[in-house]
Amino acid sequence: MQKRILGKNGLEVSSLGFGCMGLSHAYGPPVDKQAGISLIRAAVERGVTLFDTAEAYGPFANEELVGEALAPFRDQVVIATKFGFGINPDGTRHDLDSRPEHIRQVAEASLKRLKVDVIDLFYQHRVDPNVPAEEVAGAVKDLIAAGKVKHFGLSEPGLQTIRRAHAVQKVTAVQSEYSLWYRGPEAEILPTLDELGIGFVPFSPLGAGFLTGKIDETTRFDSSDFRSLVPRFAPEALKANLALVEMVHEVAQRKGATPAQIALAWLLARKPWIVPIPGTSKLPRLDENLGAVAVELTTTDLGEIDAAAAKIPLHGARLPEAALAMTGR
């Protein structure tokens, strides 16, 4: 497995990380605990060193799963988790909450669930409009000074949030959705990260499974799967959007790869400081995803992909309206 550096603080991780959310949250019923542990450990054995979780996934169950799975490999891996939501006693999520005292509480609880002495990378999960970015960064800076956190990250931030937070505590990584399926960060976010020396961690690098080629116009999602609420996966939009998958499939055939591998290789080729975190609950899919690091896309390949993608209009929003309202602030 090749390595990459996130940010100027020198956080070295595998070129592809592992997004653990889907093992416990958002994609239907949680996987069997032992199966989840086995899959995470299989990823470690294959050279993956970056594992992404959050207190909100489950809630709490995903951190506990990741903590147990990675306990034997603590010195070999980088664990990223997140704060920023208020969570009720019954486990339901309520308002955004990035008050400094809440950040400290979340850090202490996450340390216990993850079975670690320090959180390697601590992201603000979503920007809280009621708490200035400087206060959030200051709270994490204090946690870093106390030895409880190593690196600070932001998830789905807007341009000004990045700059304001970075001025108080250097941001190591920004995490946002990015793929051939959604290219929003290209306009302003990626140039800003390049300027400031911040790494980028695309989540949903396979378009929540869309770019794998395993979803077609007959696919329907269970009510426990968040994609059942996503406009881009609504039947008519889904049918129209399959043109993008067909294009990726054609490239994959030429390159002797799978659509998922092309989608991930395309991301890896964008910048040397981009580290996608595809998730899966299946070992064959894990192996398929990791095979993307061996797929070489030439400048000509990339130009052809971009030219073809530019001709394909995508239908539907990437998230439900309420979720979109919490992004890019």
Single-letter amino acid, residue 310: A
Q: Is the pLDDT of residue 113 over 90?
A: yes
Q: Over the stretch 168-213, which tens digit does the pLDDT of each residue have?
A: 999 999 999 999 999 999 999 999 999 999 999 999 999 999 999 9
Residue 131: both structure tokens together: 């708490």
Query: What would the mean pLDDT of 144-172 be, rounded to a whole number?
Result: 98
Q: Over the stretch 213-236, which tens digit does the pLDDT of each residue have?
A: 999 999 999 999 999 999 999 999
Asked whether 122 and 83 are in contact (CB, 8 A), the reply is yes
What is the spatial distance between Cα 197 and Cα 8, in angstroms, rounded to a whole number? 6
Asked whether 76 and 49 are in contact (CB, 8 A), the reply is yes
Q: What is the pLDDT of residue 70?
A: 98
Chain center to CA of 17: 9
- Strands 149-155 and 11-14, how do they pair? unpaired
- Parse the chain into domains and list their residue ranges: 3-324
What is the spatial distance between Cα 306 and Cα 294, in angstroms, rounded to a whole number? 20
Q: What is the pLDDT of residue 90?
A: 77
Query: What would the mean pLDDT of 106-114 be, rounded to a whole number?
Result: 98
Q: What is the pLDDT of residue 8?
A: 93
Q: What is the pLDDT of residue 182?
A: 97
Q: Is the pLDDT of residue 94 over 90?
A: no
Q: What is the pLDDT of residue 327?
A: 95
Residue 171: both structure tokens together: 């941001």
Query: What would the mean pLDDT of 251-268 be, rounded to a whole number?
Result: 98
Q: What is the pLDDT of residue 148?
A: 98
Q: Over the stretch 22-64, which tens digit does the pLDDT of each residue have?
A: 999 999 999 999 999 999 999 999 999 999 999 999 999 999 9
Q: Which band of pLDDT confidence, cut at 50, 70 and 90, is reported for residue 88?
A: confident
Q: Assess whether the previous peptide bond of 59 is cis (omega < 30° from 0).
A: yes
b/e code 44-67 from CB counts within 10 Å (16+ = b)? bebebbbbbbbbbbbbbbbbbbbb
Single-letter amino acid, residue 249: H
As a CATH number, domain 3-324 is 3.20.20.100
Q: Which band of pLDDT confidence, cut at 50, 70 and 90, is reported for residue 92?
A: confident
Query: What would the mean pLDDT of 84-101 be, rounded to a whole number?
Result: 89
Q: What is the pLDDT of residue 255?
A: 97
What is the residue-averaged pLDDT of the chain?
A: 97
The reply to whether 123 belongs to the active site is no
Q: Is the pLDDT of residue 93 over 80?
A: no
Q: What is the pLDDT of residue 142?
A: 98
Q: Is the pLDDT of residue 72 over 80?
A: yes
Q: What is the pLDDT of residue 91?
A: 77
Q: Which band of pLDDT confidence, cut at 50, 70 and 90, is reported for residue 89?
A: confident
Q: Which band of pLDDT confidence, cut at 50, 70 and 90, is reported for residue 9?
A: confident
Q: What is the pLDDT of residue 156?
A: 98
Spatial strand order of the sheet with 50-52 comes to 18-19, 50-52, 78-83, 119-124, 149-155, 171-177, 199-203
Query: What would the mean pLDDT of 286-298 be, rounded to a whole number?
Result: 98
**Residue of 57, 123, 178, 182 marked catalytic:** 57
What is the spatial distance between Cα 81 and Cα 108, in angstroms, rounded to a whole number? 12
